[in-house]
């Protein structure tokens, strides 16, 4: 009987341990979901839901989605953006956008090294200039006063998309 109890105890401990590890992995410290286009993490306060050529996806920021649509020569429609300050989803037509501020949300730490271990200058970054969404124009203006950049309406932002 003792060996059976020991086996059951070991099985219970293994299952409980796997449950705790799974809980830690997926609930407490979830792996950030990456942008489909630039493979950078999706941040709650900057990600957008976009539809490019009829396919809905999430992108790290509005700039990345617009760059992708322009590169594919496909129409784009922004479905939802997230307020930079609160992270709440808002309709793009109701949002105000700040472009080119000193705040860079879509930053990455990957160095691009040549075969001679030199690091070439970056000439294009699909997420640059950074574009952040705000729920109100006064919030966007206050952000620009502290961090630089320019406030754009939804129509001004979408005028940068070549195929609508």
Domain boundaries, the chain: 1-31, 33-158
pLDDT value, residue 109? 54
Residue 50 tokens read as 């976009």
| pLDDT value, residue 5 | 86
What pLDDT is recorded for position 41?
A: 82
What pLDDT is stored for residue 43 in this prediction? 86
Q: pTM of the prediction?
A: 0.70
CA distance 50 to 162: 15
Query: Which pLDDT value is given to residue 17?
Result: 73
Say what the pLDDT of residue 123 is. 47
Question: Digits of tens for pLDDT over the chain (164 positions)?
Answer: 588 888 788 787 788 777 777 666 666 555 558 888 888 888 888 899 999 999 998 998 898 899 899 999 999 999 999 999 999 999 999 999 999 888 877 665 555 556 666 665 544 556 666 799 999 999 999 999 999 999 999 999 999 888 76
pLDDT at 39: 81
Distance of alpha carbon 122 from the chain centroid: 20
The fold of 33-158 is Bactericidal permeability-increasing protein; domain 1 (3.15.10)
pLDDT attached to residue 14: 81
The encoded tokens of residue 15 equal 């299952």
Which helix (H) or strand (E) covers residue 50, if one does?
A: strand 48-52
Taking CA atoms, 82 is separated from 19, 34, 98, 113, in Å, by 33, 16, 13, 34
């Amino acid at each position: 009987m003792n060996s059976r109890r020991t086996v059951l105890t070991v099985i219970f401990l293994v299952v409980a341990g796997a449950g705790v590890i799974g809980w830690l992995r997926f609930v407490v410290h979830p792996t950030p979901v990456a942008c489909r286009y630039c493979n950078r993490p999706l941040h709650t306060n900057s990600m957008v839901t976009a539809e490019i050529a009829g396919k809905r996806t999430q992108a790290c920021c509005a700039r990345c989605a617009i760059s992708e649509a322009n590169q594919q020569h496909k129409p784009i429609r922004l479905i939802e953006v997230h307020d930079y300050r609160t992270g709440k989803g808002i309709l793009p037509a109701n949002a105000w956008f700040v472009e080119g501020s000193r705040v860079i949300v879509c930053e990455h730490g990957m160095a691009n090294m040549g075969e001679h271990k030199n690091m070439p200058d970056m000439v294009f970054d699909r997420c640059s200039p950074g574009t952040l969404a705000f729920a109100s124009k006064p919030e966007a203006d206050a952000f620009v006063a502290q961090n630089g950049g320019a406030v754009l309406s939804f129509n001004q932002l979408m005028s940068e998309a070549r195929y609508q």
